[in-house]
Structure 1
C-alpha cells in the first residue's frame, strides 16, 4: 500500500483531515455504449470542415483558476478554510455557470436549485468555494464508511493529466461528512477504490424540518501534489496548462415529517423517487466516471490578475481557450466505445475499422479520424488515432495524435508524419 494522502477541507466552520488510499482490487469491466451525439454538420455535407472536426460544440465547459496574490497583506490575499466565502480573493473572481442535468441541457428535467463554484490556487493548494441553494438543508451520514451520496452532497472530480486514470474524487454533505477516493481507472475499465471517511462536527440541527434555510456553502483546499500523484501532471502547474475537472451535486426529494412524541419535525426521502444528478459540465449519461467528458480547468500565470467583473455577467468560460487536443480526444473515445461494443457481441476486439463501423455512434467522428497504428488481441487493444489532414486544431497550427488503450488510458502528443493505415471515405 502506498502512503496515505492527506486532504484539507472545510465546510460549515469545521476543519477535517480525510485521507486517500490506493485501490488494490478490481471489478468486472462493463463499458456501456455512449448515447448518440448531436449531429455536427448537415446530412448532405460530404466532407466535414476543419471546425466541424474540432467538435467545438461538444467541448466541455472551461474555467480559469487565478493564482492568489503575493502575501503583502495576509488578510487580503489568503483564504481561511472556514466554510464562509467572505475573502476578497473570492470576490475577485466570477462564479461558474449554473449546474445542469448530468445528461445534458437537452434533458427534460433541469435543476430547480442553483449550484455554482469558484476556484483559486497557490503553489500548494487548489481552492474550491461552492454555493448550493437549498430550502431543505439536511444530512444523515456522519459515521465512517457510510456512502455520502445517500444524502444530498457536493462532489469534486480531478484528472490532472487527462489520461482518465489515477483521478481523485472528493464528496461531502452539509454535515461535513466526507468521502475521498483515488481511482486507478474508471469503474467501467476495472477500476476500484479503497477509501476512508471521517466523522466531523456540525453547527446546527440538520434534521429539524422547522429550520428553514436557503443555502449551504463549502470551502475546500485540495493539495496539488496529492491530486497529481501517480500522474504526469506538473506541480506547481505550468502557466496556462489544463487539468480535467468536474463537479456534481446529488439532490434527493424529501418531505417534512412531524414526530408526535418529540413534537419536532424532520426530513425523510420521498418513497419511490430517485435522486437528481446535477453537474457543471455535462456527462451525456448518468455516470460521473467518464473522465473524458469532464470540464477543463486552466491555471493562469502567477502574475496574472483576474479581470474586472463585468456587469453583463459574462462567464469565466469566455476567457478560457478551447483545448486544441479536444477533437482527437473525442474521436479516440468514439473508437474506444466502438471496440467495446464489438467485443461485447463477438468476444474479441478487431483491427479492422470496417468491422467497427456499425458500432460508432458518431458518423462525424468516423469521417474525421485517421487510424495510424493498432495492436489488437482478443482481449486487448491499443491504437494511435489522429484527425484528418484538413482537420487541424483550433489555431490551425498543428495536429495531435492520441494513443488509447482498451482500459481507456489516453495520451496525446504532437503529430509526426506517419501515414494512416485506415480511414473511412
Structure 2
C-alpha cells in the first residue's frame, strides 16, 4: 500500500456534451486516456486480461466521465435501480470531493445502464454504512455496446459508459460547487469482472461446487488490498483549464500518506497487543516506512490512559500543512 496514486488532469470545457455513451464530441477527442486499469492489489499481480481506461472533462455544472471496457461477451441481467449491480460485470466510480470530511460517493453501472448510487458517511472498516436511498440528483448516464448485449452467439468488442455528474448533487450545506481550477479531488474507478457460463443461451456467473467463482477487481489506481473502500488510497483528479501532461500529486499527499501509514501500523500493533503503541517509534515498520520523513516533520501524539484511543498530528514546516488523524479514522487537513 505504498505506491503513488494515479493523477488525471481534467480539462475544463465550454462546449456541450451529449451523454449517449459514444464520446464522439471534439472535446472528448482532445481528452487523454488514463493509464490502463490494473489489478486492485497492484503491480505484483497479473495484468488484467481485458483493457479498461477512462477520460474526464468538466465544466461549471458537471464532471464528465467516459469509460471504455474491452469485452468479448457483453451481458447483464440486473434492471432494478439500486440493486447490487456488482453481481453483474460493472463499472464503478468513487468520488471524495472534500479533504476534511470522511464522506464519499459511489456510482455503479452495468451494461444495461442500470445504476446503483450511494453515499458513505465513512468507510465500512471504520464503522460506516451505505446510505442507499441517496441519489445523485440529475445524474446522466448512457451505455454504448460495440457489438450486442446478451447474445452468446457473437463476439463483441467493448462496452462504454458515459456520465455527467452534477456538481450540485455532491454539495453539502457548507461546501459549494463547482471545484476551483487547480483543486484536487480523490477519485477512483473499478471494474468488477466475473467468469461466466452460458446455459440455454443465457449468460450467468460461473459456479464451482455450487459457489460463484471469485470476481476480478481491476482499478485505475491500485489500493494494495482487495477493498475499494480505502479513499486515502484512491487516485486524484486535478481540475485544470488546459491539458496538463503528467500532473503531480497534491502537495499534502506525502504528509497524509505518512499519517495513514501510522494508522495502519497502529492497527497491526493493536491486533497483537490489544492496545495502541505509546510512541510512533514503537511501531513495527517505523524505521523502513516512517523514519526518513519523520526527521523533517514535527508531530504530536496524544493517547488516552487506557491506550484505546489516540490522535496524531503531523506538520510539514516547509509547506505549513498539517494533517491530523485519530484511531477511528477521522482526519483533517489544514493549509496555512
2:120 equivalent to 1:177: no
Cα distance in 2 between the residues matched to 1:245 and 1:203: 23
2:68 equivalent to 1:131: yes
> Contact 2:261–2:289 at 8 Å: present in 1 too?
no
346, 368, 379: which is aligned to 2:293?
Answer: 368
Select the structure of larger CA radius of gyration: 1
Cα distance in 2 between the residues matched to 1:362 and 1:194: 40
Cα distance in 1 between the residues matched to 2:5 and 2:287: 17
> Contact 2:101–2:332 at 8 Å: present in 1 too?
no
2:225 equivalent to 1:288: no
- Measured after TM superposition, the shift of residue 135 of structure 1 is 0.4
Cα distance in 1 between the residues matched to 2:194 and 2:329: 31
Match in the other structure for 1:210: 153
2:273 equivalent to 1:332: no
- Residue by residue over 1:244-292, the C-alpha shift from the partner in whole angstroms, topping out at 9 and shown as x without a partner, is 10000001111333x2xxxxx2222222321100000010111100111
Question: After TM superposition, where is structure 1 displaced by more than 4 Å over at least 4 residues in a row?
Answer: 200-205
- Measured after TM superposition, the shift of residue 197 of structure 1 is 9.1
Match in the other structure for 1:239: 181
> Contact 1:144–1:196 at 8 Å: present in 2 too?
no
2:25 equivalent to 1:87: yes
SS where residue 250 of structure 1 aligns? strand
> Contact 2:255–2:314 at 8 Å: present in 1 too?
yes
- Residue by residue over 1:131-155, the C-alpha shift from the partner in whole angstroms, topping out at 9 and shown as x without a partner, is 1110000112112452111110000
Match in the other structure for 2:138: none
Taking structure 1 as the reference length, the TM-score comes to: 0.70
SS where residue 383 of structure 1 aligns? strand
2:315 equivalent to 1:386: yes
Q: Mapping of 1:10-159 within 5 angstroms?
A: 37=2, 58-69=3-14, 77-107=15-45, 109-159=46-96
* Alignment: residue pair count: 321
- Structure having the higher strand fraction is 2
Cα distance in 2 between the residues matched to 1:100 and 1:177: 24
Cα distance in 2 between the residues matched to 1:361 and 1:186: 25
- Measured after TM superposition, the shift of residue 327 of structure 1 is 1.0
202, 208, 213: which is aligned to 1:266?
Answer: 202
- Residue by residue over 1:278-307, the C-alpha shift from the partner in whole angstroms, topping out at 9 and shown as x without a partner, is 00001011110011111110011xxx343x
- Residue by residue over 1:291-331, the C-alpha shift from the partner in whole angstroms, topping out at 9 and shown as x without a partner, is 1111110011xxx343xxxxxxxxx6x33123211111111
User: What is the root-mean-square deviation in Å for CA atoms of aligned residues?
Assistant: 2.6
Taking structure 2 as the reference length, the TM-score comes to: 0.87
Match in the other structure for 1:398: 319
Match in the other structure for 1:342: 269
- Residue by residue over 1:59-106, the C-alpha shift from the partner in whole angstroms, topping out at 9 and shown as x without a partner, is 21110111112xxxxxxx101122221111111111111101101122
Cα distance in 2 between the residues matched to 1:61 and 1:141: 31
